[in-house]
Amino acid sequence: MSIERFCDTYTPTCDYCGAELPDEFDFYDAVDAKKQAGWHSVKDEYGWSDYCDECWLERCWDNE
Ligand SMILES: [Zn+2]
Mean pLDDT of the chain: 88
Q: What is the CA(4)–ligand 1 centre distance, in A?
A: 15
Burial of 59 (C-beta count, 10 Å sphere; 0-12/13-18/19+): middle
Model confidence pLDDT, tens digit, residues 43-64: 888 788 999 999 999 887 766 5
Cβ density class 11-45: b for 16+ within 10 Å, e for less = bbbbbbeebebebbeeeeebbebbeeeebebeeee
Q: What is the CA(8)–ligand 1 centre distance, in A?
A: 24
Average pLDDT over residues 22-47: 92
Q: What's the confidence (pLDDT) of residue 24?
A: 95
Q: What's the confidence (pLDDT) of residue 36?
A: 96
Look at residue 10 and tell me whether its pLDDT is greater than 90.
yes
* Number of CB atoms found within 10 A of residue 52's CB: 23
Q: What's the confidence (pLDDT) of residue 46?
A: 79
Q: What is the CA(14)–ligand 1 centre distance, in A?
A: 5
What CA–CA distance (Å, rounded) separates 64 from 41?
19
